């Protein structure tokens, strides 16, 4: 018999967790939340109350706003197989900071598995019906969620303040620049790669097309931005070809006239770790944050010329879509050199062959990538198979069938 009156042996799992939102708090509370402290605290508690400790589950550096945590999932498995029937955390926020999901565990999952849950510092104990602290738990959960939101907001505000000051916060500076080793958030000109940037603008302003420029650079073995970064890391020369997209990107990048533009992408919110594009009107642009490589005059001239020669991804003039654009155009990339795949009509134009654009473009002179023709039907088959798999997994077959049928009917009535 234990204090709750349940005649049951408790096999306890101690769950500890630490993340960014806690690190923020730590500055005030002096590391009281550290993994080690939580473990010690819970072990002492379990021993004192006579619960046998089966395992300790520790998620380090993982936010409480998600429940997809490795150790947490391992704990759930142990609950499923009956290895543990009790979960103890220091407080409710250790379990999670998403109030909806925390509530689900408290009200549904743990009771359904007959698991006793204790949040020591919040005085929560799911096996004590008369416990008034239990009734407070949903409010605590909401509060913990708000706390995560508040911290996320504070971190974002701090980043924004830096962006407004023009501090560079990215990891890889634009081709032509490097990070200043002395001043944090400052860009300085990179001697070697900035020469290539100058060359690209020069060639374009002298009337060369983007296509011609990428040919010239590739043939004279100028490293591409990604090659350049790799070479700097590994000190080895890596073969590669320039593509039109990266030339165009350089020609349009205001970094070269000394401006820093940030805040182009953001996380959906503090709970969803996914990046979304931010509208151009909200980008944070700061002028003259570093030494320019290209003069403002040359840059403006370049933009004017680019406007006149605008092409979209399929190579068609904007506003006049190419008639024979392939369905998969712009969606396939070479697995070897990452360049876009290109489409070559077969004899009598009954279909297409697909091949790497680098290989096709430089096959005779440079042999940069493998010239291998893939039949359109081969790729189509693969895509259809993948689609089938996805459909089987995610689409409710019955619902889909009715939807298809109702659209059939619609079409019929229209005809």
User: In angstroms, what is the minimal distance from the CB of 219 to Zn ion?
Assistant: 16
Decide if residue 356 touches Zn ion (CB under 5 A): yes
Distance, in Å, from the CA atom of 63 to the CA atom of 60, rounded to the nearest integer, reads: 9
Half-sphere exposure of 292 (CA within 13 A, CB side): 14
Q: Is residue 82 within 8 Å of 25, Cβ to Cβ?
A: no
DSSP 336: T
User: In angstroms, what is the minimal distance from the CB of 339 to Zn ion?
Assistant: 5
- Phi/psi for 284 (5° steps) reads -100, 110
Distance, in Å, from the CA atom of 257 to the CA atom of 244, rounded to the nearest integer, reads: 21
Bridge-based pairing state of the strands 86-89 and 116-119: parallel
Applying CB under 5 A, among 54, 159, 337, 383 the residue interacting with Zn ion is 337
User: In angstroms, what is the minimal distance from the CB of 231 to Zn ion?
Assistant: 19
Q: Which is nearer to Zn ion, 148 or 341 (CB)?
A: 341
User: In angstroms, what is the minimal distance from the CB of 364 to Zn ion?
Assistant: 15
- Phi/psi for 14 (5° steps) reads -95, 125
User: In angstroms, what is the minimal distance from the CB of 216 to Zn ion?
Assistant: 19
Q: Which is nearer to Zn ion, 109 or 353 (CB)?
A: 353
Distance, in Å, from the CA atom of 32 to the CA atom of 28, rounded to the nearest integer, reads: 9
| Interacting span for Zn ion (CB under 5 A) from 46-54, 98-106, 138-146, 352-360 | 352-360
What is the per-residue binding string for Zn ion in 63-102, x denoting contact by CB under 5 A? ----------------------------------------
| Interacting span for Zn ion (CB under 5 A) from 52-60, 105-113, 252-260, 350-358 | 350-358
User: In angstroms, what is the minimal distance from the CB of 275 to Zn ion?
Assistant: 27
Decide if residue 336 touches Zn ion (CB under 5 A): yes
Helix or strand (DSSP H, E) at 235: none
Q: Which is nearer to Zn ion, 102 or 357 (CB)?
A: 357
Decide if residue 334 touches Zn ion (CB under 5 A): yes
Q: Which is nearer to Zn ion, 207 or 335 (CB)?
A: 335
User: In angstroms, what is the minimal distance from the CB of 357 to Zn ion?
Assistant: 7
User: In angstroms, what is the minimal distance from the CB of 333 to Zn ion?
Assistant: 8
SS3 for 386? helix
Hey, what are 64's tokens? Answer: 């409480």
Q: What is the DSSP string of 102-166?
A: HHHIIIIIHHHTT-EEEEGGGTEETT-TT-HHHHHHHHHHHHHHHHHHHHHHHHHHHHHHHHHTT
Q: Which is nearer to Zn ion, 14 or 356 (CB)?
A: 356
Q: Which is nearer to Zn ion, 157 or 336 (CB)?
A: 336
DSSP 339: P
Name which of residues 367 to 386 contact Zn ion (CB under 5 A).
369
HEC per residue, 276-312: EECCHHHCEEECCCCCCCCCHHHHHHHHHHHHHCCEC
Which residues are registered as beta bridge partners of 60? 18
Q: Which is nearer to Zn ion, 31 or 333 (CB)?
A: 333
Q: Which is nearer to Zn ion, 47 or 238 (CB)?
A: 238
- Phi/psi for 10 (5° steps) reads -95, 120
User: In angstroms, what is the minimal distance from the CB of 363 to Zn ion?
Assistant: 11
Decide if residue 355 touches Zn ion (CB under 5 A): no
What is the per-residue binding string for Zn ion in 206-225, x denoting contact by CB under 5 A? --------------------
Residues that bind Zn ion (rule: CB under 5 A) add up to a total of 6
- Residues near Zn ion (CB under 5 A) are 334, 336-337, 356, 358, 369
């Amino acid at each position: 018999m234990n204090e709750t009156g349940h005649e049951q042996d408790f096999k306890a799992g101690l769950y500890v967790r630490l993340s960014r939102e806690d690190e923020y708090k730590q500055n005030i509370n002096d590391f009281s939340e550290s993994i080690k402290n939580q473990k010690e605290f819970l072990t002492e508690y379990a021993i004192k109350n006579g619960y046998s400790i089966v395992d300790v589950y520790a998620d380090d550096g993982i936010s409480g706003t998600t429940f997809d945590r490795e150790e947490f999932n391992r704990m759930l498995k142990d609950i499923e197989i009956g290895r543990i029937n009790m979960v103890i955390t220091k407080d409710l926020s250790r379990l999670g900071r998403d109030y909806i999901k925390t509530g689900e565990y408290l009200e549904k999952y743990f009771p359904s598995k007959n698991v006793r849950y204790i949040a020591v510092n919040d005085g929560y104990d799911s096996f004590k019906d008369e416990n008034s602290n239990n009734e407070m738990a949903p409010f605590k959960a909401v509060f913990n969620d708000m706390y995560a939101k508040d911290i996320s907001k504070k971190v974002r505000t701090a980043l924004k303040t830096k962006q407004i000051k023009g501090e560079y916060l990215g990891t890889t500076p634009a081709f032509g620049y490097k990070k200043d080793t002395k001043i944090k958030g400052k860009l300085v000109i990179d001697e070697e790669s900035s020469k290539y940037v100058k060359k690209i603008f020069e060639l374009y302003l002298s009337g060369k097309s983007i296509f011609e420029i990428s040919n010239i650079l590739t043939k004279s073995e100028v490293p591409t931005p990604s090659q350049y970064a790799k070479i700097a890391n590994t000190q080895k020369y890596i073969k590669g070809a320039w593509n039109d997209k990266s030339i165009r990107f350089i020609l349009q990048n205001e970094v070269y006239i000394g401006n820093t533009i940030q805040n182009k992408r953001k996380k959906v919110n503090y709970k969803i770790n996914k990046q979304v594009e931010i509208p151009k009107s909200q980008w944070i642009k700061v002028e003259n944050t570093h030494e320019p490589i290209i003069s403002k005059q040359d840059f403006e001239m370049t933009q004017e010329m680019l406007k006149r020669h605008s092409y979209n991804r399929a190579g068609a003039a904007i506003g006049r879509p190419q008639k024979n654009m392939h369905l998969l155009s712009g969606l396939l990339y070479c697995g070897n050199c990452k360049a876009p795949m290109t489409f070559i009509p077969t004899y009598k134009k009954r279909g297409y062959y697909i091949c790497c654009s680098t290989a096709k473009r430089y096959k005779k002179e440079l042999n940069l990538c493998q010239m291998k023709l893939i039949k359109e039907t081969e790729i189509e088959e693969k895509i259809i198979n993948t689609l089938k798999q996805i459909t089987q997994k995610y689409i409710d077959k019955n619902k889909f069938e009715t939807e298809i049928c109702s659209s059939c009917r619609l079409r019929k009535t229209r005809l």
